[in-house]
Amino acid sequence: MRVLVVDHPLVAHKLTVLRDKDTPSPVFRQLTEELVTLLAYEATRNVRVEPVNIETPVTATVGTGLVKPTPLVVPILRAGLGMLEGMTRLVPTAEVGFLGMARNEETLEAITYAERLPDDLTGRQVFVLDPMLATGGTLREAIKFLFKRGAAEIVCICLLGAPEGLSILEEELAEANVTIVLASIDERLDEKAYIVPGLGDAGDRLYGVVN
Ligand SMILES: O=P(O)(O)OC[C@H]1O[C@H](OP(=O)(O)OP(=O)(O)O)[C@H](O)[C@@H]1O
Ligand SMILES: O=c1cc[nH]c(=O)[nH]1
Ligand SMILES: [Mg+2]
């Protein structure tokens, strides 16, 4: 497993506004999309490509095309849905599948309540979107599920990660073909397993509070 923190002043600036508790939902959504596009630029550095023959108005030449099937993008509902537009803006031909997962706030266990993905992911490159990596339980389950379906490589794009969750994933997935791309590794988890300093509940800030 590899971990990549994108170190860029615009990422740091947008993330700071996102963290601010006074940033309203519409601005939060917009900034999430913008941040994802910046992170996705790094996260797709090893996207699979192949030579393609084209003709410019001047001559024939060999260019670069995405290998088919194109990457599969999997937002984890709810909060990951706020990242989808920012990702597909960069890779418009990507296919999109969905995983609905929620962390039980008492047991901290991740449960899967919805799934709409191809049955066979053999050999596929998969990009998972979830803004928050806290205990790591949600991503661990999602990654396990995708490998079981045959995925060859998984790149997770997150906004914030906690050192506790990252350590658990690093232990369990040491040899796996997984990359976690983040805007920041924060200080720690608090007693409710929320990321500190964090940004609060990403789903609630994007879409409002549900119980
Ligand atoms: O690393 P973990 O400890 O598993 O926590 C992280 C998960 O918690 C949040 O989702 P949540 O369960 O709040 O669902 P939501 O997106 O519907 O708000 C977040 O988007 C992650 O999926
Ligand atoms: O800080 C956290 C932890 C889990 N889920 C969130 O949305 N935020
Ligand atoms: Mg939530």
Residue 10: band (very low, low, confident or very high) from pLDDT cuts 50, 70, 90: very high
Q: If you take atom 8 of ligand 2, which residue's CA is the nearest one?
A: 201
- Using alpha carbons, select from 42, 39, 7, 43 the residue that is nearest to residue 155: 43
Residue 210 has pLDDT above 90, yes or no: no
**Using CA atoms, how far apart are residues 57 and 54, in angstroms rounded to an integer?**
10
pLDDT per position as a tens digit, 52-101: 999 999 999 999 999 999 999 999 999 999 999 999 999 999 999 999 99
Ligand 1 atom index nearest CA of 162: 1
Ligand 2 environment, Cβ below 6 A: 79, 132, 134, 194-195, 198, 201-203
- Separation of first and last alpha carbons in the chain: 34
ipTM above threshold 0.90: yes
pTM across the whole model? 0.97
Give me the pLDDT at residue 4, please.
98
- Using alpha carbons, select from 58, 49, 53, 41 the residue that is nearest to residue 4: 41
pLDDT per position as a tens digit, 109-120: 999 999 999 999
Closest ligand (CA of 186): 2
**Rounded alpha-carbon distances, angstroms, from residue 100 to 66, 107, 113, 125, 167:** 28, 18, 5, 20, 24
DSSP reduced 3-state for 57: coil
Closest ligand (CA of 137): 1
**Rounded alpha-carbon distances, angstroms, from residue 119 to 148, 205, 206:** 10, 32, 30
Tell me which amino acid residue 36 is: V
Domains of the chain: 2-48+67-199 (3.40.50.2020)
Averaged pLDDT for residues 26-39: 98
